[in-house]
Amino acid sequence: MATTIYDLAEAAGVSIATVSRALNNHYAVSEATKKRILALAEEMDFHPSARARSFAKRRSGIVLFVTDLYRNIAFENPHMFEIITGISQYLDSKNYSLLIKHISAKDAPSGIKDLMNKEQADAVIIHAAILSRTLAGVISHMALPHLIIGKPDFPTSICWIDVDHEQAGQKAATYLLDKGYRRMVFLMGNEETDKISLARRNGMLSMFEEEELSFTTLYGDSSYESGIDLAEKAISQNPLPDIILCTNNYIAMACLQVARHKGLDIPDTVAIMTFDNYPFSMLVQPQLTAVEADMYDMGQEAARFILRKVKVPELQTQSYCTIPRIVEREST
């Protein structure tokens, strides 16, 4: 059986990316490492294919965006399409095209590997919803020009960008404390899986603790139906909270409905605030004060980075972008 680049990388004790760069005389690999890898390649009778040698020199002009496009995602995750719009418009300005591909989290490791082996694109942007440790390993071993939208929930060296959700929580808490709110209830999703809301909660906790204050957190499943139950529990507390902060628009709408049904005046009896500015916060009455993150801007940043990484494969990033802001409306 012919020696593969994986065999050569294992024998050399380096990554596949380092082997590839050494074979292509890349400046980022030291001369000593290049000589050692080239000597091993000769000893192991390694012969890279013509496709492998020329892959880095050919450009398709296409960037893949890969996620799980399940039914109703437009309602459950409207941010996705703001991100895609930002990516697409930036790529278009640079004469690149965006190819959107549906792959489930289960099929992502093999599916993305197959797509890139077929050279359908120069790089791939992956939504964190389908990221796994297995997929991260595939990305690393292929030395793939990539970017993850969303911070991985496990240690990894792969590239990612995200909104700073903890900072968003801090901004929300600072705003509410400055407005004089003290008795807060935070309504969020599942305590184990809703990592974004947990990060927001951590940010709020840090600000409340500075004032020697605390707040109540109620957990659900992030849906409108769950929001009804959460709102009932929040409003039944004694004393009544002066502010209910919701982790998304669905829970906020449910909270608004329950408060109206009980005849509570908003914001005089109880105020309501939400994370995320859409899809509903500006459409309901009263309009909801919201913590907004510019997802279009994050899409633009993602596209800008991925094109740079196509040109400079060694480029790395693990960072936050897009500063959250408060959109104040009638509900506070």
Q: What is the pLDDT of residues 30-52, one digit of tens each?
A: 888 888 988 988 888 887 654 44
Place of tokens 């697409």: 88
Which pLDDT belongs to residue 5?
78
CATH architecture for residues 62-163+296-323? 3-Layer(aba) Sandwich (3.40)
Which pLDDT belongs to residue 128?
94
Q: What does DSSP say about strands 123-127 and 97-102: parallel, antiparallel, or unpaired?
A: unpaired
Identify the residue with better confidence: 272 or 141.
Answer: 272
**What pLDDT band is residue 14 in, cutting at 50, 70 and 90?**
confident
CB atoms within 10 A of CB 264: 16
What CA–CA distance (Å, rounded) separates 36 from 31? 9
Q: Residues 107-122: what's their mean pLDDT?
A: 85
What CA–CA distance (Å, rounded) separates 116 from 118? 5
Which pLDDT belongs to residue 55?
46
Domain limits, CATH 3.40.50.2300, in the chain: 62-163+296-323, 165-292
Sign of the four-CA dihedral 5, 313, 124, 139: positive
What CA–CA distance (Å, rounded) separates 142 from 7? 13
Which pLDDT belongs to residue 23?
80
Alpha carbon 194 to chain centroid, angstroms:
13
Q: What is the pLDDT of residues 128-165, one digit of tens each?
A: 999 999 999 999 887 778 999 999 989 999 999 999 99
Which pLDDT belongs to residue 54?
43
Identify the residue with better confidence: 6 or 275.
Answer: 275
Task: DSSP for 76-102, please give it.
Answer: H-THHHHHHHHHHHHHHHTT-EEEEEE
Query: What does each C-alpha distance from 175 to 196, 261, 279, 285, 320 come to in angstroms?
Result: 19, 27, 22, 21, 21
Identify the residue with better confidence: 133 or 323.
Answer: 133
Which pLDDT belongs to residue 199?
94
Are 209 and 235 in contact by the 8 Å Cβ rule? The answer is: no
Domain limits, CATH 1.10.260.40, in the chain: 5-55
Contacts of 194 (CB under 8 A, 6+ apart): 188, 222, 247
The CATH T-level fold of domain 5-55 is: 434 Repressor (Amino-terminal Domain) (1.10.260)
Query: What CATH number does domain 165-292 carry, 3.40.50.1820, 3.30.465.10, 3.40.50.2300, 3.40.50.850?
Result: 3.40.50.2300
DSSP code of 290?
E
Which pLDDT belongs to residue 98?
95
**What pLDDT band is residue 59 in, cutting at 50, 70 and 90?**
low
pLDDT score of 104 more than 70: yes
| No. of helices (H) and no. of strands (E), the chain | 13, 12
Q: Residues 89-117: what's their mean pLDDT?
A: 92
* 20-34, 170-184, 226-240, 248-262: range with lowest mean pLDDT: 20-34
Alpha carbon 65 to chain centroid, angstroms:
13
Which pLDDT belongs to residue 21?
76
Burial (CB count within 10 angstroms: exposed 0-12, middle 13-18, buried 19+), residue 99: middle
pLDDT score of 127 more than 90: yes
Q: Give me the phi and psi of 204, to 5 degrees please.
A: -65, -40
Task: DSSP for 237-291, please give it.
Answer: SSSPPSEEEESSHHHHHHHHHHHHHTT--TTTT-EEEEES--SSTTTSSSPPEEE
* 72-76, 254-258, 287-291: range with lowest mean pLDDT: 72-76
Q: Residues 205-218: what's their mean pLDDT?
A: 96
pLDDT score of 83 more than 60: yes
Identify the residue with better confidence: 4 or 51.
Answer: 4
For the chain, give the percent of residues with pLDDT over 70: 95
pLDDT score of 82 more than 80: yes
- Considering the chain, what is the average pLDDT of its residues? 89
DSSP code of 45?
T
Task: DSSP for 160-194, please give it.
Answer: EEE--HHHHHHHHHHHHHHTT--SEEEEES-TTT-
Which pLDDT belongs to residue 1?
60
**What pLDDT band is residue 27 in, cutting at 50, 70 and 90?**
low
